[in-house]
Structure 1
Amino acid sequence: MTTTDAVATGGRLSVLDVYLCDLRPWGELRGLTRFVVEFLYFGIKEARACLFAGLFFVSIFLVPKAGFLGLPRYDVLLVIALAIQFFMIWSRLETWDEAKAIGLFHVVGFALEVFKTSGSIQSWSYPDFAYTKVLGVPLFSGFMYAAVGSYIIQAWRLFDLRITHHPSYWMATLVALAIYANFFTHHFIGDYRWYIAACALGLYARTTVTFKPYDRVRKMPLLLAFVLIGFFIWLAENISTFFGIWSYPNQIGAWSAVHIGKWSSWSLLVIMTFTIVAHLKHIKRRIHVPE
């Protein structure tokens, strides 16, 4: 996405984003020099795309379990998440359209949290008291899902992502809906994640994502991107449960690592999140680009 595209689809960008989106090569780079420069800019863009998730994740370490200034920990985390969100909009690190999309992920994630922590399910729990708990779920929890959506949205813009051989949107939608539904229905009719994963594997087998760390287009299988993002979310989940943000039933007495099977769940959730972002991008393109 160029600076002009950003203005057309949601507002002006920060100076940093303008620079990263419109990089001009210093000159012809070869060999080790090219590798170092591209690796450096890849890291900078990744860090920038992870800004919301990173700042929110760091707050988990910094906020004491007892809370801050008399405010319970979960409430403090909600205040921090809202402050980060407002800062990103104010500083033009995020456009209003992007903020609306992230709000959608918050709602989708919070609905899942309410179900998973309900009395009859109890897949995990939030043991601490909070004034901002709704149906037993602290409101900050939706931002954990929004952080995944924020990363994908920001990376899409900063890396100028292009998807080749994208499957039919209706088929991608069916798979995404099946993924989301299975998070609920597997408690009653069995877990069909591997069947859904097989469908996703076939659907995206030929799909490639191209991206620009610096001045040249690179590519990778989209399925590999889903798996890698899911892995890093699984690592973040281990750290979060270690600090007691939430707990699985087997972690009540003493902490233990989150089961490796959760990696597959997170990878599927990334597919669902990507599908929502891709649809929003598709709709925007149809609205702003004349036929």
Structure 2
Amino acid sequence: MSSSLPVADVRGFFDPETYTISYLIKDPTSSACAIVDSVLDYDPASGRTSTHNADRLVDLINNEGLQLQWLLETHVHADHLSAAPYIQQKLGGKIAIGEHITQVQSVFGDLFHAETEFARDGRQFDQLFRDGDEFTIGGLKTKVIHTPGHTPACISYLVEDALFVGDTLFMPDYGTARCDFPGGNARILYQSIQKLLSLPDHIRVFLCHDYLPEGREEYQWQSTIAEQRKNIHVADVGESEFVAMRQHRDAQLTMPRLILPSVQINMRAGHKPPAESNGTRYLKIPLDVL
């Protein structure tokens, strides 16, 4: 994929409640589009969900006469709920994630003691991508890159000159993803990052979160591969040094505010757990486990 190929039209939508950026990718030569890492609003105090963030995307796609082909997930998020099923119901498209979702479903299916009917083979998603798979968004060629470390199922999407890395990398002045969730591995994350940094300098890098580090006044979520080579966690840092840094840093972090509801929803491709005999759906809170 060279810089002479069609440039993806990318628009980011920031959710200040979860510091998440969802993306609309449009093929400039057609009406085809895709969404990366959509957000379903969730109030942890009441347990209520709403669709403000998702409706922004739905309304934009409808108003511009676009055709949604893909609802792409970079991984099973621990900080926000996915709105993919809601958007799919409104606009169509296929919900996709990496094939290693099965590992996440196995681990968290046990942790949450999921219902017997909960499938752990990824069938809740329309498409499970393997490393190196290619597909299109209209005329935009897209390649899947397996980038585990934060979770075993993390993947990045290279859409022509635009790279969507999920939580693997943050802005160069903030660093890299934590690796202390079940299945996380700092050494593997370092190797995944090196794989991404081997891409051409000009590739645009789009991030899933920004937490506004001290000294910066505005949220940012776009960089380049050249800029990411100066990332404060990896610039001139070897693998062993990175692992030691990441393990020390992760030991001081608290769990994300929405990890318990998020993972239960997202391991189901954004679908809520089945209703119980009284017609109500429930999320579980495992005590003294995480």
Q: Could you say which structure has the greater relative contact order, defined with CA pairs below 8 angstroms and 6 or more residues apart?
A: 1
Q: Whose helix fraction is larger, Structure 1's or Structure 2's?
A: 1
Quick check: which one's strand share is greater?
A: 2
